[in-house]
Structures are given as structure tokens and as C-alpha cells.
Structure 1
Amino acid sequence: MKVLQVAAEGSPFLKTGGLADVIGALPKALKESGVDVRVIMPRYKNIPETYRNRMEYLGNIEVPLAWRRVYCGLFKLVYDGVVFYFIDNEYYFGARDGAYGYYDDGERFAYFNRAVLQALPELEFQPDIIHSHDWHAAMIAVLMQKHYLHDLFYTSIRTVYTIHNLQFQGIYPYGVFNELLGLTHDYFQYDRVEHEGCVNFMKGGINYSDIVTTVSRTYADEIRTPHFGEGLDGALRWAGGRLRGIVNGIDDQLYDPRSDAKLFQMYSEEDAIQGKAANKKELQRLVGLDVNESVPLIGMVGRLTDQKGLDLVAHVLHEVMEADDVQLVVLGTGDDRYEQMFRDYAARYPGKLAVQTKFDDGLARQIYAASDLFLMPSRFEPCGLSQLLALRYGSIPIVRETGGLNDTVQAYNEFTGEGNGFSFTNYNAHDMLYTIRRAIAFYTRSDDWQRLVRTAMSGDYSWTESARQYREIYEELIERRIQQLEAQAADAEAAAADNRLIADNDVVEQSIARSDLSEDSQRARPTAGLSPQVL
């Protein structure tokens, strides 16, 4: 089985968000399961020189883009056993910082989609499946149907499209559609790629891909509704059984408290309580909290935005700081008002709240290891990785029951001992506050808490199960393709048999006709020599 993953970013080459983590980890897990998986992405300026210098130049092609034919260089690098291909164009990718945020992103990624398809024969890799990720690669299935299915190289390829964040859809004016994608007007319809008078890359991926996935089962259900669907709920409902949900995983070798050198002290499931206490004291010293290993420490790591539930936190933070014996450590950047809010509270409650408005992977790991609880009250969350990392390091999540948070965190049941965290349903600040206080209450119960930490750390949060589910989807599409080919062959054979039968009938009918003519002729001959009197 051959699979090509298409994405705009991938770790360790370039990362702006969780998509890069997926592209860095999922192919490795698929390869371990026996899939010949490869990745293709742009060759950005900001890819570290250590990787750029190791890339092998494969050649170049021309990519049709409207009336132009545009240069495309092809590079290759093997990383962790996975082949990565890179689309090189100095104007679109090689001379710009970062990945997105340019006025011509529509043109840049229209080019990228077309270049991927144009490059495949030159790469000497004919995939069974092209698996595209997010809006940047969403037009692969559309362009393949329009421009490439006449070529036998492409006719057997099937497509999978994964939505990581429905908020970013790749919506651009009609000119991008007509001028750059080379699509005829019949594609610019509401049930195809048109959305409110513009071309919508993501909508094209949803409507034209053989199977559409998103990054959790709950989120797959949520986005079929107007509240979560971001204007595409109709297309997602129409997708029906083609829409599936598969939870992301994490790289459990990269994130392992037993071997993570960035921690103050490494620990395992067996000595987690002691190990986390040691990490807590060191983190408290580092960020300026009162050093007290018995006080529950809540961690928050991530973007400081409304989507992450920071408006709920703002409503009750004063109450928590005043009334509860608890500490809070926050790491992240985002909206100015939330960054300033935490700075103000850190100044007002020194020793109880500390904030670092930056991103620091080492400090993030130290917070996961040191914190007792991890707060993630998201308004919506397609999957979420922070709660998985918190569980891996034995920090018990407090989450709202939405998207991937609902699929990965099960509320603790003190009567059965089941569950790995705490959760609340309604998007309500005081529901969240009640849940925080419930979690703090269980923190003081040693037996319950040790059970919770053991359960959290013993869970399987790796990509193994996710990769198995993706492989099942690939196998389903390949089997469907085989069945289609067999059905086509059967239809062709039936048509040939019908043609033979028709031909045989024609022969019989012609033979009968000749026989009838012969008999008529035989009857006619004697009468020719008889006299009129006899007749």
C-alpha cells in the first residue's frame, strides 16, 4: 500500500501549529504498520539549514497555472525513515518568512496543489491514496478530477481529506478559481467549490474527496451542526458516511517523563507522585511561586484566546485566587487582553499565579510534569494535544466536553474508580469553577489521586491506534477500487456477451432468412415450366 501525505507544514522542518506535529508523527506510525508512506510539502525559506543542506535535488518541472507555466523544483530528504518531498519555488515559498499570512496565499497554494499532482510521475511514486490535510491541500481531489483523470497514471488513485481546523477554509475571490485553478464554471456551484460568491478550498476537498476525516469523533458530529460548522455544516451533513472522526495521537517516545531530559527530575508511573512533587518545587522556584509541594498546582499551556475558554477563566479567576488554596502557572501567547489579565493577576497575587507570555517547549514540558491539574475549558476543540501531553505526564485534565476533549478525557467516577480527569458540559464559568473545586477536593484524597495519576499515565496516547484506523480507511478505499474494477470488468464481459448473443442471433436470423428464401425459390421453380391451364 502506497500513501502520499500532502500538507503545508511538517515537523521538524517547519511548524506553526498542531498540523506539523501530525505530519511529523503519523507517517512514522503508518510506516511501522507496513505502509509505504511519503510526505510532500513546500520548501520554505525557514526550513533549518541542517535539513536544507541534506536535501537531494531530483530535477524540475513546469506547472500549468492559468496562462503561465511556472517553475517547480523537486527535492527529497529521508527523515526518521520517512521520505519527504519538497516543492521548491523561490517566489512562492523560498523567499518568504513563515508559511502563511500573505496577500496571495490563494495563488501560492493553488500552485502547490497543482504542483503536487504534476510532480507525481517525475517522483516515480504512484500512490494508491493521496491524503491531503487542511485547506492548503484541499483542492487536490478537485484538480485531479478536472485535469488528470484522463491519464492512466492517476485513474486508480483515491483521495482522503482531513480537516484539522474548520475555522480556516481558504476562501478567495472568483479570480483565483477561474484564473489559477483552471476550473470551468460548472465547478463554481454551491454543491461543489462555491461559497458565498467565492471559491472555498476546504469545501472542494469535502465535496470531491472519497473520504473526509476530522480529528475526533465528537468533532465530526459537532461540525454537522450550524453552531460548530462554520458555514460548511450543509456540505458536512451531505458527506454522510464519508465523514469520519479519528483522534490524533502524540509521539510517546518524544514525550516520555521517564526519559525527558528537559524535566527537573525524570519519573515513571511507579514513582509519579514523588517525581511530580520534586518537579513542582523546582518549577515553583523557577517561575516565582511559593514553594509548597502540598498545594495543588494548576497548569495552562497554549494560545490565550476565546476559543481556548479564556473568557470563562476571566469571569472566575478573582474568585479562585481569593477563595481557593491553589496555584496557577500559565504559559502561552494570544490576545493582548488575556496576556495583560494574567500579568495583572500575577502582580496582585504574587506566589499564587505566574505567567510567561511566550512559547517555550522546555518550560511547557516542565509545567506538564510539575502541575497536578491541567485546565483546558475550550469553547471548541477539534482534537487538542495539550490534554494528551498532560495525561502522559500525570497532570489531570479539567476540560469542557467538546470535540477531542470529550473523546480523550473521561470524568472520574469515585464509586467505580474509572476515569482519567474532570469535565463539565455547559460553556459556563461557574460550571467550570465547580469542576475545578471538585478536582481540588479529590487531590486531597490520597488513594483517589494516586489512582487518577496511574490511570492517566498508563493510557495509550500514541499514534498506533490512530494509524490503524487510517490504514483501515486506506484499505477500504483500495478494496472499493478493486470492486469497482471487477464490476467494470463484469459489465464489460456482460456487454461483450450481449454483443456476442446479438451477433449470434443476427447470424441465426440471417440463416433463417436465407433458408426461407431458398424454400420460396424452390417452390417457385416448378411453376415456371407449367402451362397456364395447369395453373
Structure 2
Amino acid sequence: MRILFCSSEAYPFSKSGGLADMASALPKIMNQLGEFTAVITPLYDSIYPKLNTFKYIGERNIKIADEHFKAKYYETIHDGVTYIFVENELFFKRANYYGYYDDDKRFLFYDFAVLEYIELIQKPFDLLHINDWQTGLIPYLLDEIYRQKEMFKTVKTLLTIHNLEYQGSFPKDAYRLIGRPFNYAYIHFDRLNFLKAAIMRANHINTVSPTYMQEVQTEYYGFTLDGALKSRLNNFTGILNGIDYDIYNPETDTYLEKTFNDKHFVQAKKKNKFALLQKLNLELSTDTALVAYIGRLAKQKGIDLMMTTLEEAIAESTAKFVFIGSGDLHYENFLRYLQDKYRNRVYTFIGFNNALAHQLYASADLLLMPSQFEPCGLGQLIAMRYGCLPLVRETGGLKDTVMPYNKYTKEGNGFSFANYNAHELKQVLLDAILLYTNNPSDWRLLVQSAMSQNHSLEHMGEAYLQLYHQILNK
């Protein structure tokens, strides 16, 4: 099987979110499973310093409306995976990946460039795995322009939706850029919508968790595309994301003061906690809970609930809190305020520091993820791998992966609350902190359960391989 993974970002070359990690991880696993998988992605400004190490493949002429643009292609191999870069200075040599007035033109160019690359190399692919709105017009272009050519007659398409909120919606007249007669396949609320086009034309669709697949079919989570998704139910799947166990491994992690595993973790986690508290100038008590937040500071992540409850939780408990993240300024300022007011119990790092994040996962007892919605979530998977219990709202992938503590059966691998409600978050948080302090035996059982979960890339890869075969055999 030959698979072309199409993504607007791919780690370690470009990254703004979880899509980049998926574009690195899944192709790596598929190649290990014996299926040739290459990644095709734009060549952004930050990648240019590496350009002289890449192999030049060739170029194609692409027509957008009445203009002609050159797509140049470069190739490199990283971690056993072939990466193809689409180069055009006008469209991609910019400070940011997204957010420009001509994003419709930029990513229409990219979508054309993906299909032109296949013509350039004259080697067909069995499956084009597209991701999110930036690749959304590929199935439409394939059907309307390229399908008549021998090389494209049997190729299938899979759309993975990582976050339905972002759809690539542009003024209706932007359809003229495509250079084809008007078609309602890409029109949504009288606007050109890249993601709607992909939903209607891809051979199959999946989301990054089973619960999110159900949620996006509702008005609340569907962001107006719930009807379109319901119309594709016979070709719609939910597959949970995984994490790289080579990178997130408490037994071999060089960032840690003390490595550990799921059989020996109690003393090691305390040593890691003590070292981190000392480093951050917080109270040096390892017998009180350490609560962490690692992620974007955005409304989607439930920061509004945290703003309502955290100061009360600090006042009503002995726990310490460490925050790592960046985003909306008023959220950043709130976390700075907490640090300033509670200097011996709260530490805030605005931005991202990989070493500090690893150390915090290994040291913390609780990870806050009170998301308003969460297509999958990786933080809770990483936290469980390091014996840090996630406290989540029951939505999307968080609901699929976190089983709340049951005080009667002693089962569970974390804590959860159902409604998007600050009082529920506060109560569950205080209850979890009390459990850590007063019932260490139950806590140990929860940590063992969390660390024994299998959310590896291999597990995810097997699920995608099965889906790929299902699509190709239809």
C-alpha cells in the first residue's frame, strides 16, 4: 500500500498543535508496519535554513483563477519517513502558518500542489490521507479534475478531523479561484467552506476519538456541520490518538531526576517532586498534592472554569499548583496573578518548555484538563504514562480515556465531572486532593491503573491500518 499523508504542518519541521505530532507519528508507525507512507507539507519560512540539505524533486505550474504559480518540490528522510515540501515563497515564506487574508488562495494552491506532485513523480498512491480544512479541497479537485487521468482513477481519500471548529470558511466568490464551474459541494451558509467540501467528497471520514465522533453530530459540538457529518454516517469512524512511548517513557526519560515504572513509582515520584519544587522555589513538602496544567490558554481548554475556582481551591487546600502554557492575554495575566499572590504554592511559566513539561508530568499528582470540548487530548495520555492522574471534563477523547475513581470498587485511572460547571470542577478537584492526602493506598491503585493503559502509537497505527484496508476494499 502507498499512502500520501497530507498535512499543513508536520513535526519537527513545523508545528502549531497536535496535527503536527500526528503527521510525524502515524506515518512513522505505518512505515514500521510495512506500508509506504510519505508526508507532504508546505515549506514554511522556518524550514528554509534546512533547504540546502533537502533533495530537489522538480516543479509544476499551478493555475489559480487567471494566475500561474510555481510549486517546487523538495524531499528529505527523517526518522525513516519521506517528507515532501511544497515550496512557493509568495504563499508560504511568512512568519505564521495561518491567519492571512489570502489563506483560501494559499491552501487551494497547496491542495493543487499535492495532486500535481503525484503527476510529477508518475507513481500512483492508493490512499490520500488528508487532515483538517487546509487539505479540504483535495477530494473535490481529485473528482472534478484529476480522476479522469489513469494515475488517479482508483485512489481513495480519508479525511481526519482534528478540530471541527476550524473549517476554512471564506467569501462565496472565492470559488472562482478554483477555475471550475460553481458547485454546492463546497458551499456552506453561502460561503466557500474547505472542510465541508472534504466531508462531502472524501471516501471516508474519521475523528480522533470515538466520543468526539458522536459529539460532532450534535448541534452544540457540530459547529453547523453536524448535518453534513450525519449524512456520511456509513463512512464515519472514531479512532483514538496515541502518543510516542519512546519519547514519553518514565523509565528512560533523561529529563527526570529519578526514572520509574508502573511497579516502582512511589518514592521516585516523590524525588522528582522534591527536585522540581526546589527548582521552582515552592514549598518543599512532598506529602501534599501537586496539581499541574500544561497546554494552551484558550476558552476551549476550560480556563474560564479555572479562573472561577482555582483561587478558592488554593485557599481551601494545601495543594501546590504549577502552570505551563500561553494563549489569551487575560488568561496569562490571571495565572501570573496567582503566582504573585501565592508565591510559595503557585508557579506559572508562560510559554512552553519541553524539559519542564516532562519534569512536571513526572512530579505532579493531578493534571487539570477541564475542557469545554476536546477532540482527543494528548495531555491526559502523557500524564497517565507518568503516574499523574488526569482530572477532566467528560467530553471527546477525555471521556474515552479517563475512567473516574470509584470509591466503592477502587477502580479508575483519574477523575472527571460531567457538566461545564465551575462548582463541579472545584468539588472534584478538592475531593481528589483530599484522597491524595488521606488515602494513599487507593491513590496508588489509581496510579497503577493509569500507568498500565495502552495508548501507544502502535495501538493507534493498527487501528488506522485496519481502516485503510476497509476503505481500499470498498
* 2:168 pairs with 1:170: yes
Give the counterpart letter for 2:178 in structure 1: L
Change (3 A) 1:170 1:379: same
1:143 is matched with which residue? 141
Change (3 A) 1:53 1:266: farther
Would you say the 8 A contact 2:64–2:105 is kept in 1? no
1:450 is matched with which residue? 444
2:41 is matched with which residue? 41
Distance in 2 of aligned mates of 1:243 and 1:478: 15
More deviation in 408-417 or 389-398? 408-417
Identify the match of residue 189 of structure 2 among 192, 196, 206.
196
1:63 is matched with which residue? 62
Would you say the 8 A contact 1:113–1:137 is kept in 2? yes
Q: TM-score, normalised by structure 2?
A: 0.97
Identify the match of residue 307 of structure 1 among 300, 303, 316.
300
More deviation in 54-63 or 155-164? 54-63
Distance in 1 of aligned mates of 2:180 and 2:163: 26
* 2:379 pairs with 1:386: yes
State the Cα distance separating 1:287 from its structure 2 match: 1.9
1:430-488 Cα offsets, whole Å, 9 max, x none, are: 111121122123213222111111111121121122211211121112111xxxxxxxx
Identify the match of residue 459 of structure 1 among 453, 462, 465.
453
1:500 is matched with which residue? none
Distance in 2 of aligned mates of 1:338 and 1:91: 35
1:88 is matched with which residue? 87
* SS of residue paired to 1:374: strand
Distance in 2 of aligned mates of 1:419 and 1:205: 38
* 2:178 pairs with 1:181: yes
Q: 1:146-157 maps to which residues of 2 (within 5 A)? A: 146-157=144-155
1:25 is matched with which residue? 25
1:471 is matched with which residue? 465
Distance in 1 of aligned mates of 2:200 and 2:220: 20
Give the counterpart letter for 2:326 in structure 1: T
* SS of residue paired to 2:72: strand
Distance in 1 of aligned mates of 2:42 and 2:464: 24
CA RMSD, Structure 1 to Structure 2 (Å): 1.3
Q: TM-score, normalised by structure 1?
A: 0.86
Distance in 2 of aligned mates of 1:99 and 1:66: 23
1:118 is matched with which residue? 116
* 2:99 pairs with 1:101: yes
Give the counterpart letter for 1:91 in structure 2: L
State the Cα distance separating 1:174 from its structure 2 match: 2.4
Structure 2 runs not aligned, ≥5 long: none
Taking only the aligned residue pairs, the percentage that are identical comes to 38
2:229 is matched with which residue? 236
2:404 is matched with which residue? 411
Distance in 2 of aligned mates of 1:136 and 1:67: 22
Give the counterpart letter for 2:14 in structure 1: L
More deviation in 387-396 or 447-456? 447-456
1:11 is matched with which residue? 11
1:423 is matched with which residue? 416
Distance in 1 of aligned mates of 2:121 and 2:42: 15
1:369 is matched with which residue? 362
State the Cα distance separating 1:69 from its structure 2 match: 2.8
Distance in 1 of aligned mates of 2:303 and 2:100: 28
1:77 is matched with which residue? 76
* 2:246 pairs with 1:253: yes
1:109-155 Cα offsets, whole Å, 9 max, x none, are: 00000011011022243111100001111110011011111111101
Give the counterpart letter for 1:108 in structure 2: R
Structure 1 runs not aligned, ≥5 long: 481-535
Give the counterpart letter for 1:166 in structure 2: L
Give the counterpart letter for 1:8 in structure 2: S
State the Cα distance separating 1:273 from its structure 2 match: 1.3
1:275 is matched with which residue? 268
State the Cα distance separating 1:48 from its structure 2 match: 6.5
Q: 1:292-331 maps to which residues of 2 (within 5 A)? A: 292-331=285-324
* 2:312 pairs with 1:337: no
State the Cα distance separating 1:68 from its structure 2 match: 2.8
* 2:390 pairs with 1:397: yes
Give the counterpart letter for 1:16 in structure 2: S
Distance in 2 of aligned mates of 1:305 and 1:45: 26
Larger radius of gyration: 1
Would you say the 8 A contact 1:13–1:48 is kept in 2? no
Distance in 2 of aligned mates of 1:204 and 1:286: 51
State the Cα distance separating 1:299 from its structure 2 match: 0.4
* SS of residue paired to 2:221: coil
